[in-house]
Amino acid sequence: MSDTAAIEVRGLRREFRVRQGMFAPAKHVVAVDDVSFSVPAGSVLGVVGESGCGKSTLARLILGLLEPSAGDVLVDGRRLGGMDRRARARLIQPVFQDPFASLNPRRRIRDIVAMPLIAQGDIGREDIARRVAEALDRVGLSQDQGTRFPAQLSGGQRQRVAIARALVLRPRIVVCDEPTSALDVSVQAQILNLLAELRRELGLTYLFISHNLAVVEHIATEVAVMYLGRIVERGESERLFAAPRHPYTRALLASVLTPEPGLGVPDVGLGDIMPDPANIPPGCRFHPRCPIAVARCSTEAPRPATDQAGLVECHLA
């Protein structure tokens, strides 16, 4: 393992222009707002936060599928902007939530898994067949299943196909965006176990996005909590779960309903206002929902504070 971070992002920002109604004027949505972090090789950074907070946008920026409005993404020490697509594909690969949407329904599984190899343009047919067979084997699919079509497989098997396709070029880094969110809990466990095993055996680095904190706790070595485009807390997983510092992190953790009878449903204390990425509040963007906000929070935006325990962005932390 080298000292170079597997992923490093600096001042990353991405805006979108959106219209909220047919005749409404276009607005700017800042989906990712001045995000910086680095992920050491071999580790797993979990990213959590409510829907719309910018997790998928962050994933697509890191994968090079979206251009940043500002800032840089470095993968394995190299700037992503301007990198050749084929070189990028050998370095970093995605696994998305809905394998059905990301697999071509008219192609056989083995052809789907072969796509990244074919796109390289310089790999021989025999080599391709051998590496596809290997990849299927790795993710627990039979060679016979390789001859089928996506519709003939279950949701969990399709997610295995997506993982095989992501691994066939032997990348160093895999970005998983809600990879188990569409699956039943028994199948989710199968896929999480597979991802953990692959990481150990192949020395992979993951960026792992999920709205399920218990899933992230299980798989991530470090966790970043996003709120309206910003990382409001980051830290080693054990520390973050044991001693959350940001009030939003505390609310997220409080809302995890573990299967322990008798505890009831906790009051997460967030009120009924929902965050709107097109209308980011002044001051601390969390203040309208924050249970501990003081006057200063509605006028002055907190800056990120970094120490040994990680990063936190709150006036009161």
Partner 1 sequence: MSALLEVQGLRVTIGSTAAVRGVSLSVNKGETHCLVGESGCGKSITALSVMGLLPKGSLRETQALRFAGEEIGRYDERQMERLRGDRMAMIFQEPMTSLNPAYTVGSQMTEVLRRHRGTPRAQAVDRAAELLARVGITAPGLRLGQYPHQLSGGLRQRVMIAMALMCDPELLIADEPTTALDVTVQAQILRLLAGIQKDLGLGILLITHDLGIVARIADRVSVMYAGEVVESAPTAALFAAPEHPYTRGLLSCVPVPGKVKRDEPLGSIPGVVPRIRPGFAGCGFRDRCSRASAACAGAIPRRNAGDSHEVLCTLEPGWGGKAAA
Ligand X SMILES: Nc1ncnc2c1ncn2[C@@H]1O[C@H](COP(=O)(O)OP(=O)(O)O)[C@@H](O)[C@H]1O
> Which positions touch Mg ion (CB under 5 A)?
55-56
Among 25, 82, 124, 259, binds partner 1 (CB under 8 A): 259
Q: Which residues 259-288 are close enough to bind ligand X by CB under 6 A?
A: 277
Q: How far is the CB of 278 from partner 1 (least distance, A)?
A: 13
297 phi and psi angles, rounded to 5 deg: -65, -25
Site string for partner 1, 14-53 (x = CB under 8 A): ------------------------------------xx--
CA–CA separation, 232 and 97 (whole Å): 24
Give, as ranges, the residues between 233 and 252 that touch partner 1 (CB under 8 A). Answer: 237, 241, 251-252
Does the footprint of ligand X cover residue 308 (CB under 6 A)?
no
Question: Does the protein bind ligand X through residue 235 (CB under 6 A)?
Answer: no
Query: For residues 43 and 8, is the Cβ–Cβ distance under 8 A?
Result: no
Q: Report d(CA 221, CA 14) in Å as an integer.
A: 26
> 56-85 mask for ligand X (x: CB under 6 A)?
xx----------------------------
Please state, in angstroms and as integers, the Cα–Cα distance from residue 278 to each residue in 17, 27, 88, 248, 300, following that order: 9, 7, 32, 20, 19
Q: Which does 241 bind (CB under 5 to 8 A by kind): ligand X, partner 1, Mg ion, none?
A: partner 1
**How many residues contact ligand X, by CB under 6 A?**
13
Q: Count of residues binding partner 1 (CB under 8 A)?
A: 50
Q: Which two tokens stand for residue 120?
A: 């390289």
**Shortest Å distance, C-beta 55 to ligand X:** 3
Told to check if 186 binds partner 1 by CB under 8 A, we report yes
Cβ proximity to partner 1: between 147 and 154 the closer is 154
- String marking each residue 30-59 x if it binds ligand X according to CB under 6 A: -x-----------------x-xxxxxxx--
Long-range residue pairs from 255-260, CB within 8 A, at least 24 positions apart, any chain: 256/213, 256/214, 258/214
Q: Which does 261 bind (CB under 5 to 8 A by kind): partner 1, ligand X, Mg ion, none?
A: partner 1
Binding of ligand X by 16 (CB under 6 A): yes
Q: Shortest Cβ distance from residue 296 to ligand X (Å)? A: 27
Q: For ligand X, give the closer residue by CB, 58 or 164.
A: 58
Give the per-residue contact string, 130-159, with partner 1 (x = CB under 8 A; - = no).
------------------------xxx---
Catalog residues that contact partner 1 under the rule CB under 8 A: 50-51, 154-156, 184-190, 192-193, 196-197, 200, 211-215, 217-219, 221, 237, 241, 251-252, 254-268, 270-274
Catalog residues that contact ligand X under the rule CB under 6 A: 16, 18, 29, 31, 49, 51-57, 277
